[in-house]
Structure 1
Amino acid sequence: DPAAAKEAALAQVDAGADVLFAERFGVIEAAVENDLLAFGNMSDQYELGPDHVLTGPVWNMRPTVEYVIQQVKAGSYTAQDLKDFSMMAKGGASLADYHGMDSKIPKDILDLVAQREKEIKEGLFRVNITESAPAGSQ
């Protein structure tokens, strides 16, 4: 619900937030209206808020789809957990282009991000997915 997401983002702004994460549509609109920075989600969302969206995670389904097609063609596909194909190490995730917004991020932070991305792609670092509900959310 984009309207509810925007409302929640505005409440965060009222509480002092100065950077927003657009987990849903509506949040970037709140960032633009309040001249704040935001991170997009799932796709490159820079065009929703030029000069406001720094970057954000991008989901690429291609590795998953290619793997499943290969398995089906080989006659060896079985039901399985495919989440690893959505991870950066297998090309299923990346950061959106900075579109020049990297100038708003300290160089030492950009260097840390680049180093972590390299470690992930080399299999040296992994963030495991926890699918349980967050504590206190029920």
Structure 2
Amino acid sequence: MSVGDKILIVDDEPDIPRLLRSYLLREGLVPLVAETGAEAIRMTRDDNPSLIVLDIMLPDIDGFEVCRRVRRFTDCPIIFLTARTEEADKVLGFGLGGDDYVVKPFSPRELVERIKANLRRSTAASRRGGADDQGDYRAGLERHFGD
């Protein structure tokens, strides 16, 4: 984790990004906000965030599909932040490439600590070359199990 890391918050409820913004700024992180799935995909490509906080229930493309699409071009951590509590949703989120899953209502302080923990792991993995290891792992799974 480093000061100035960009955190993309994807949520159509304005209160959530507004609340998280103050907590992230106190930690030296830069909050970016998208209100739709399409906007989230564009901002992920254009702004290269260090981490994405992603709601599932969005007005256009659901968060699961957003995750699926952004995983094609980024391996930044994704934390689902959602009101959906079913185990099947959690399993799907992790299966699509999510790194964490937080259910609303939530503690902003805990979420920020989860963000920082994911950023530390992501930074450590990239220093070790972990991104390539993960790519090799996924390629091996695809060869073994198919698409």
Q: What TM-score do the two structures reach when normalised by structure 1?
A: 0.31
Tell me which structure has the larger Cα radius of gyration. 1
Whichever structure has more helix as a proportion of its residues is: 2
Q: What TM-score do the two structures reach when normalised by structure 2?
A: 0.30
Structure with the bigger RCO (C-alpha within 8 Å, sep 6+) is: 2
